[in-house]
Amino acid sequence: MNAHEIDYKLFGDDMQFVEIELDPAESVIAEAGGMMMMEDNIEMETLFGDGSGETSGLFNKLMGAGKRVLTGESLFMTVYTNIGAQKRKISFASPFPGKIIPVDLDELGGKLICQKNAFLCAAKGVSIGIDFQKKLGTGFFGGEGFIMQKLEGDGLAFLHAGGTIVERKLAPGERLKVDTGCLVAMTKDVHYNIEYVGKVKTALFGGEGLFFATLSGPGTVWIQSLPFSRLADRVLSSAVSSTGGKGEGSILGSLGNLLNGDNR
């Protein structure tokens, strides 16, 4: 195996974190800011790219870092290495309520395609890149733009997603329609396309948007029940309609505040 063989344990239910046990000289890579806690003798190194060792030279490293910017990620990755003589533990936490999904890339054909911002951490040796959606319709209306993340290698990787996570195995020719924001990840053989809702009335007033993501087997897909964008929209909507906390649960709302003389 090219990637380091790491051991892990998940903690929590709706606010999870993953604890990774590193043998001496083993490393794990993660997005900047994802680390929760770590024991002594774990050394941090910030670098361009993903630390997979597939690129050499300044130009190639800059190109790899630039590709990561296209997926909305930082220019830098952080590598955590156990430099001690004993096993050491390090933990990474999900940035919002939901689940952490461990995936073994060796069992998934060496490649996994996932939405932007889904990657949490992985064994050193796993390559984190970009995957272009070739069809214009998929790019414009897929909810993730033209670009998604791809994880390649033969090691363990960890994704995070919102709400409850469902893993579905699709048989050859089996199709599944999902909200574009609810798709977390899919194996490389799954065919991904965008399909119009079909009816103008449903599209405008159904509350589900104009397009579905259509996934065709064979392969495995992971679906999340609460995309972060949906959660953020609800929080923002509540914040805009809020009147500062007074009478928040009242049916009258801002009208009640007006009658009370709070609005001047």
List, in order of start, the domains of the chain with CATH numbers. 7-162 (3.60.160.10)
State the pLDDT at residue 62: 58
Q: What SS3 string covers the chain?
A: CCCCCCEEEEECCCECEEEEEECCCCEEEEECCCEEEECCCEEEEEEECCCCCCCCCHHHHHHHHHHHHHCCCCCEEEEEEECCCCCEEEEEECCCCEEEEEEEHHHHCCEEEECCCCEEEEECCCEEEEEECCCHHHHHHCCCCCEEEEEECCCEEEEEEECCEEEEEECCCCEEEEEHHHEEEEECCCEEEEEECCCHHHHHHCCCCCEEEEEECCEEEEEECCCHHHHHHHHHHHHHHCCCCCCCCCCCCHHHHHHCCCCC
Alpha-carbon distance of 172 to 130, in angstroms, equals 26
State the pLDDT at residue 242: 60
Strands 127-132 and 42-48: what pairing?
unpaired
State the pLDDT at residue 35: 92
pLDDT tens-digit profile, the chain (264 residues): 578 889 999 999 888 999 999 999 999 999 877 899 999 999 999 877 665 655 455 555 555 555 555 555 566 789 999 999 999 999 999 888 889 999 999 999 999 999 878 899 999 999 888 886 655 454 444 444 457 889 999 999 999 999 889 999 999 999 999 888 889 999 999 998 877 766 555 545 544 556 778 899 999 999 999 877 666 666 777 777 665 554 444 444 544 454 455 444
Strands 7-11 and 17-22: what pairing?
antiparallel
State the pLDDT at residue 224: 93
Contact between 31 and 74 under an 8 Å Cβ cutoff? The reply is yes
Alpha-carbon distance of 69 to 35, in angstroms, equals 20
State the pLDDT at residue 142: 46
State the pLDDT at residue 76: 76
pTM of the prediction?
0.77
